[in-house]
Amino acid sequence: MPEITRDEVAHLATLARIDLDDAELDHLAPQLSVILESVASISGVAGDDVPPTSHALPLTNVFRDDVVVPGLTPEQALSGAPRAEQQRFAVPRILGDEQ
Amino acid sequence: MATALVDFDTVLATYDPALGLEVHVELNTATKMFCGCPAVFGGEPNSQVCPTCLGLPGAMPVVNGKAVESAIRIGLALNCSIAEWCRFARKNYFYPDMPKNFQTSQYDEPIAFDGWMDVDVDGETFRVEIERAHMEEDTGKSLHVGGATGRIHGADYSLVDYNRAGIPLIEIVTRPIVGAGEKAPLVARAYVQQLRDLILALGVSEARMDQGNLRADVNLSLSPKGSGVLGTRTETKNVNSFRSVERAVRFEMQRHAAVLDQGGSILQETRHWHEDTGRTTSGREKSDAEDYRYFPEPDLVPVAPSREWVEELRGTLPENPTTKRARLQGDWGFTDLEMRDVVAAGALLPIEQTVAAGAPPQAARKWWVAELARRANDAGVELAEVGVTPEQVAAVQALVDAGTINDKLARQVFDGLQAGEGTPGEIVAARGLAVVSDDGALGAAVDKAIEANPDVAQKIRDGKHAAAGALIGAVMKEMRGQADAGRVRELVLEKLA
């Protein structure tokens, strides 16, 4: 039976840059466990002859020709950016103080 | 914190090095891995982007078939098995060099795996085992603003250009290379060098290290001599020349030994290579693989190359490098020692191209190994970046063969070529380098040399023709090396007959 611990949820929250306090972790960790258990019930239905699937489409080898297709102009590309400078996307400081 | 280093020979007395190399090759496809944006070097910032490579909502990637073909050809050339079925995976991380917050890569299902490449070092062959070669996409380029110049540490903010984001990359990973001992730095260098030759022969990448088309990460660990247990490794990122690969391995061996000798332990981390100081410094601590939360990419269907396709591509492979070296050595009539020097200098391909451009093999060897390799080394650049092309070397040799210049003047032509003064013919004209074989000018110089060296002249009159060398030398000096030595000898002997 899959179970996700409170520590695992805290770790995943850190990786996903989601700030969860203790009360939220206490609340969410058991809920996630229930969700995983519900999804896991599928493995009880699938027999050994059913391989795990990652894609809904029964397709392979969908390739594109190596031909240039017009894209966006720099102006279009940057039009949704909160900040731009020197025709580049301006992003907040990457490394925090602890790094 | 600068750690004192342990002397290289002392390292080897106590430890065995284990090497691992990860090489990223940027493919020379016309378009990116998952979209139709141009995959070319150096456009205006953010001028080669589209919703897919910018990770905009709703945009869907489609695999570039040509990139898959190149990946399979690289895998086959490295004697790998080609996956019958494999998937792409998302490598999740927060870093703005990928606007999607993940890099599309391959995880546990690489397109190519279990191969090998034989690497020649000083006439000894090391078999480097290839663990895998997988497909992924390159990242954008960041400029860091504020703080120390250009460093990410202390920067206030960063500026990102996504032109490079999504360019197809093949990452080639070796298994740990053990048993190289003192030759570990040379094996690392030779592996990258020969891998580059192979990539160029396949024609799948420009493979220029100075432009980042081919980038090497060097893993190194030490284990107590004879223990056979792998130690903790460090990964030195983006070591961007053959020479730096060798130096980085040597430095990390010496640094690891210093830490271990003092009872310390090596931190598993990435390190940055500094070309100027020849040292590495600590980067971020390496995340555990699961922190990337890899999972199969749902937007791309699996790649399942048919065996017919794989065999068809096998038929397009260039000659196996080991066979090719043996064939070229035979064709060119080089001795084992000469060939060893050629390989060590990384001059195999330039010589091949120079011979193809019409130069005799021994002349091509002489210029590349004795002259240009030295110049490249002095300048701290790779042979390919020395500023002289194989076609130019062939043209210089043609001028020598025609008697227009001699070897000494040829060196001045190379000076001119490196300085960008034009073609070899133009440089000879502009610098006035042509050999003088006109009897009037030569005769006057010969007369002067005879007058200045009466004793030598008498010896020649007495029949000691070997003494003529002293007079020829005097004439050459007088004419600043531009005299036709053969004609001078004839004139000396005629005048003193």
* 3-state SS string for B347-368: CHHHHHHHHHCCCCHHHHHHHH
Contact B49 A72 (CB under 8 A): yes
Helices (H), B419-484: 424-431, 439-452, 454-461, 468-478
| pLDDT over threshold 80, residue B41 | no
Is residue B111 included in any domain, yes or no?
yes
pLDDT on residue A2: 62
Q: Which helix (H) or strand (E) holds A85?
A: strand A84-85
CB contact under 8 A, A77 and B49: yes
pLDDT of residue A98: 41
Shortest Cα distance, chain B CAs vs residue A51, angstroms: 14
Q: Tell me the C-alpha to C-alpha distance, in Å, between residue B493 and each of A16, A40, A96, B301, B476.
A: 89, 101, 83, 83, 16
- DSSP labels for A56-75? SS-----EE-S-----B-HH
* Average pLDDT, integer, range A76-93: 94
Q: Are residues B402 and B472 in the same domain?
A: no
Domain of B472, CATH number, reads 1.10.10
Q: B35 vs A71: CB contact, 8 Å cut-off?
A: yes
Which of residues B198 and B435 earns the better pLDDT score? B198
pLDDT at B290: 59
Helix (H) or strand (E) holding A37: helix A22-45
Residue of B47, B159, B167, B285 to mutate, testing the A interface (most A Cβ within 10 Å of its Cβ): B159
**What is the pLDDT confidence band of residue B73, given thresholds at 50, 70 and 90?**
very high
- B1: in domain: no
Interface test with A, best of B46, B104, B288, B299 (most A CBs within 10 A): B46
Domain count, chain B: 3
**Nearest to residue B131, comparing CAs of B83, B80, B179?**
B80
In a domain, B2, yes or no: no
Greater model confidence, B37 or A53: B37
CB contact under 8 A, B65 and A63: yes
Q: Flag whether pLDDT at B45 surpasses 70.
A: yes
Q: Are residues B309 and B361 in the same domain?
A: no
Flag if A94 and B96 touch (Cβ within 8 Å).
Answer: yes
Residue A63 contacts B, CB cutoff 8 Å = yes
Local confidence band at A96 (pLDDT 50, 70, 90 cut-offs) = low
Is B58 part of a structural domain of the chain?
A: yes
Does A73 reach chain B within 8 Å, measured CB to CB?
Answer: yes
Which range scores top for mean pLDDT: A47-56, B58-67, B400-409? Answer: B58-67
Indicate the pLDDT class of residue A99, thresholds 50, 70 and 90. Answer: very low
Q: Higher pLDDT residue, A87 or A43?
A: A87
Among residues B278, B293, B313, the one where a domain terminates is B313
B406 and B471 fall within a common domain: no
Q: From the candidates B269, B301, B306, which should be mutated to test the interface with A, based on the most A CB atoms within 10 A?
A: B301
Q: What is the mean pLDDT of residues B152-176?
A: 93
**Inter-chain residue contact B45 with A74, CB threshold 8 Å:** yes
Is the complex ipTM higher than 0.90? no
Write out chain A residues lying below 8 Å of B85, CB-based. Answer: 60
* 8 Å CB contact of A78 and B46: yes
CB B282 within 8 Å of CB B248: no
pLDDT tens-digit profile of B265-285?
A: 998 889 999 988 999 998 865
Q: Does A97 score more than 50 pLDDT?
A: no
Q: Chain B contacts of A14, Cβ < 8 Å?
A: none
Angstroms from A23 CA to nearest CA on chain B: 24
Q: Which residues contact A4 (CB under 8 A, 6 or more apart)?
A: A29, A32, A33, A36
The nearest CA of chain B is from the CA of A42 a distance in Å of 19
Whether the CB of A71 is below 8 Å from some CB of chain B: the reply is: yes
Q: Does B466 share its domain with B359?
A: no
> What average pLDDT does the structure give for chain B?
91
Q: Min CA distance, B70 vs chain A (Å)?
A: 12
Q: Does a structural domain hold residue B223?
A: yes
pLDDT at B87 over 80: yes
Please say whether the beta carbons of B90 and B123 come within 8 A: no
Q: pLDDT tens, B127-148?
A: 999 999 999 999 999 998 887 6
Residue that is last in its domain, among B280, B313, B346: B313
Asked whether residue B101 falls in the same domain as residue B222, the answer is yes
Residues B359 and B447 in one domain: no
Write down the pTM of the prediction. Answer: 0.81
Tell if the CB–CB gap between A85 and B159 is shorter than 8 Å.
yes
Residues 6+ apart with CB under 8 A from B115: B75, B78, B79, B80, B81, B129, B130, B133
Pick from A60, A68, A85: which is nearest to B303 by CB? A60
pLDDT digits (tens, 9 = 90+) for A42-53: 878 877 888 777
CB contact under 8 A, A93 and B160: no
**Residues B247-256 pLDDT 10s:** 999 999 999 9
Residue of B92, B158, B296 with shortest CB distance to A94:
B158
pLDDT tens profile B217-238: 999 999 999 888 889 999 999 8
Q: Do A60 and B38 touch (CB under 8 A)?
A: no
How far is Cα B331 from Cα B93, in angstroms, rounded to an integer?
52
State which residue of chain B sits closest to A84, comparing Cα positions. B159
Superfamily of domain A1-46: Glu-tRNAGln amidotransferase C subunit, N-terminal domain (1.10.20.60)
Are B144 and B179 contained in the same domain?
yes
Same domain for B375 and B444, yes or no, is no
Q: Which domain holds residue B117?
A: 8-313
* Residues of A whose CB is below 8 A from B155: 93-95
Provide the residue type at B191 as one letter: Y
Say whether both B297 and B355 belong to one domain. Answer: no
Same domain? B352 vs B307:
no
DSSP state of B287: P
Q: What is the pLDDT of residue B62?
A: 97
Find chain A residues with C-beta within 8 A of B163's C-beta: none
CB of A22 within 8 Å of any CB in chain B? no
Cβ–Cβ gap A88/B30 under 8 Å: no
C-beta separation of B18 from B220 below 8 A: yes
A15, B291: Cβ pair inside 8 Å?
yes
For chain A, give the percent of residues with pLDDT over 90. Answer: 55
Range with the largest mean pLDDT of B3-7, B238-242, B283-287: B238-242
Domain end, chosen from B281, B298, B313, is at: B313
Interface membership of A66 toward B (CB under 8 Å): yes
B80 and B225 share a domain?
yes
- Answer yes or no: do B95 and B12 share one domain: yes
